[in-house]
Amino acid sequence: MLAIVRACAIVGLDGCIVEVQTDFNPRAGIPSFNIVGLPDNAVKESRERVRAAIKNSNLTFPNKGYLVNLSPADIPKHSTAYDLAIAVGVLAATDQLPLAELDRALFVGELSLDGSIRHVKGVMPMAYAAYQAGFATIYVAAEDAPQAALVDGIEVIPIRTLGELVEHLYGLNPIPPFRADPTASLQVSSQADGVVDFADVRGQEHVKRALEIAAGGGHNVLLSGPPGTGKTLLARAMAGILPKLTLEEALEVTRIYSVADLLQSQHPLMQTRPFRAPHHTISTAGMIGGGSIPKPGEVTLSHRGILFLDECTEHNPRTLEVLRQPIEDKTVTISRAKGSLTFPANFMLVLAMNPCPCGYYGDPVKTCSCTPNMITRYQSKLSGPLLDRIDIHVDVPRVEYDKLLSDSRAESSAAIRERVEQARQRQYERFAGCKGLYTNADMGVSEIREFCRLAPEAQQLLELSVRRMQLSARSYHRVLKLSRSIADLAGSARIEVQHVAEAIQYRPKLHNT
């Protein structure tokens, strides 16, 4: 007897419906259980899990011939998510389940030997693929139900054991569908626990202003200064002034983290913008994504958030250089012999570095012990093309002692975040008709020409600056986008001369060694 059950594969960040075709041969002389359709070892091992789970659920497993085909057969099948569908196929093929109940349903889950259903990664994109394919129901492990329920329009049935599923399909003990709290998805927090408040950071007001501008327009930042001046603290505090995730952005980020298996089971919707800070020993594949089965890297896990590289000059230069293309394209494409996958990578890059090997070049208190050649070689670890993609270059000097002892609190992150959100709201309204544009940093050349209108005095200042500073075409466009963000924070519809002047101040300065 032939039974067809549907499961789902993950290709990149998207789900792909897989037919699990189970053929049972009761007249087979030699017992067999074969799985075809490009299964990996984890899928092949499901034979033993399925056999034990069915027997331990007090169901019958005739020791005859089984052939399971995972179609389409040209897509490699990975993970243990096919266990449940294979078990249901075996039960249906041996006439232990009603076939009519399987037509418009998707089955996803890993089986334990005792018949319980366990969590698998990537449930949210699987549920979305089921919805797009017109399925009415998806059966998942109970702990995966909150994640699957983020997708509207499909009924989610949480199951704990294989025996419960059989009773449900026969109508003996129906399992009620999982109902997500309709208000939970809208209660998106803006700040993660433990984030430093800008009010607790003494001094560095010009750096806070630069980070506010960066957050307001989604710009990249380079913080440079001696050790202990607060570069890392300021970068981490920046997470507290980022605007709230919209529901669309939250679902987009949640899909990435679902595939990476980094979601909380009880609160699957991403509540805050990602803040990723990989160690400088990270590999190129870890940064950009990759592997024999391409997986998202740090640039994708930072999507709609911040990628912070502390001590960036200690990173492998090749690892830094691979960031150039994602910064421009907002996506990253990983090509392998079997095909290529494209992941989103629209992140804000925040770099922190010392100005020289000893860290005290330019410090007014402590003398630098480095030679000019050492300083030049150290600073050249960040290439010109990468630096050209950084919108804001800001020095973080030593904090004066009296400021450290002061009891006065600076402006809070909440107050700064309010201005940032107002600036972002102006951008959302401005780019409402432009697909894929959310912030000023996302603008291309045509959008810059349309939305970055300059006052005559501002145009003159920009022209003079381009000539004197010998700015590249990319730098020219980045100054315009940064000026647009400064104007948005000021509530100005047009870019005025003071906005351009401030934006130019954030271009890199040449250090004379």
Model confidence pLDDT, tens digit, residues 413-425: 999 999 999 999 9
Mean pLDDT (whole number) for 362-373: 91
pLDDT of residue 168: 96
Mean pLDDT (whole number) for 432-445: 90
- Residue 351 φ then ψ, to 5°: -110, 145
Q: How far is CA 162 from the centre of its chain?
A: 34
Q: Which residue has the higher pLDDT, 427 or 201?
A: 427
pLDDT of residue 192: 54
Percent of the chain at pLDDT above 70? 96
Structure tokens at 288: 């950009």
Confidence of residue 184 (pLDDT cuts 50, 70, 90): low
- Residue 312 φ then ψ, to 5°: -65, -25
* Cβ atoms 497, 455 nearer than 8 A: yes
Residue that is written with structure tokens 């040449």 in the block: 510
Q: Looking at the predicted structure, is the pLDDT value of residue 355 above 80? A: yes
Q: Looking at the predicted structure, is the pLDDT value of residue 436 above 90? A: no
Q: How far is CA 426 from the centre of its chain?
A: 24
With H, G, I as helix, E, B as strand and everything else as coil, classify residue 187. Answer: coil
Q: For residue range 10-19, what is the model confidence (pLDDT) as tens digits? A: 999 999 999 9
pLDDT of residue 435: 84
pLDDT of residue 182: 46
Q: For residue range 74-100, what is the model confidence (pLDDT) as tens digits? A: 898 999 999 999 999 999 999 999 988
Q: Looking at the predicted structure, is the pLDDT value of residue 188 above 60? A: no
* Cβ atoms 255, 13 nearer than 8 A: yes
pTM of the complete model: 0.91
- CATH code: domain 198-421 is 3.40.50.300
In a 13 Å sphere around the CA of 410, the CA atoms on its Cβ side amount to 18
Residue that is written with structure tokens 């400064």 in the block: 486
> What pairing do the DSSP bridges indicate for beta strands 65-71 and 14-25?
antiparallel
Q: Given this chain, do its domains 2-169 and 198-421 carry the same CATH topology?
A: no
Q: For residue range 237-282, what is the model confidence (pLDDT) as tens digits? A: 999 999 999 888 999 999 999 999 999 877 889 989 999 999 999 9
Alpha carbons 142 and 451: distance in angstroms, whole number: 49
Range from 108-117, 173-182, 350-359 carrying the lowest mean pLDDT: 173-182
pLDDT of residue 194: 59
Q: Which residues, at least 6 apart from 47, have a Cβ–Cβ distance to it below 8 Å?
A: 33, 35
CA angle, 158 as apex, 152 and 160 as ends, to 5°? 165
Q: For residue range 148-159, what is the model confidence (pLDDT) as tens digits? A: 999 999 999 999
Q: Which residue has the higher pLDDT, 216 or 404?
A: 216
Alpha carbons 251 and 173: distance in angstroms, whole number: 33
Q: For residue range 11-58, what is the model confidence (pLDDT) as tens digits? A: 999 999 999 999 999 988 899 999 999 999 999 999 999 999 999 999
pLDDT of residue 58: 95
CB atoms within 10 A of CB 415: 13
Alpha carbons 114 and 103: distance in angstroms, whole number: 27
pLDDT of residue 512: 42
Mean pLDDT (whole number) for 309-333: 94
pLDDT of residue 129: 96
Mean per-residue pLDDT of the chain: 91
Nearest to 20 by CA among 78, 87, 80: 87
- CATH code: domain 2-169 is 3.30.230.10
Range from 145-154, 337-346, 368-377, 471-480 carrying the lowest mean pLDDT: 337-346
Q: Looking at the predicted structure, is the pLDDT value of residue 407 above 60? A: yes
3-state SS, 66-89, equals: EEEEEECCCCCECCCCCHHHHHHH
- Residue 124 φ then ψ, to 5°: -65, -50
Q: Looking at the predicted structure, is the pLDDT value of residue 399 above 90? A: no
Residue that is written with structure tokens 């990173």 in the block: 315
Q: Looking at the predicted structure, is the pLDDT value of residue 511 above 50? A: no
Q: Write the single-letter amino acid at 170.
A: Y
* Cβ atoms 54, 90 nearer than 8 A: yes
What residue ranges do the domains of the chain occupy?
Answer: 2-169, 198-421
With H, G, I as helix, E, B as strand and everything else as coil, classify residue 381. Answer: coil
Confidence of residue 145 (pLDDT cuts 50, 70, 90): very high
Q: Looking at the predicted structure, is the pLDDT value of residue 180 above 90? A: no
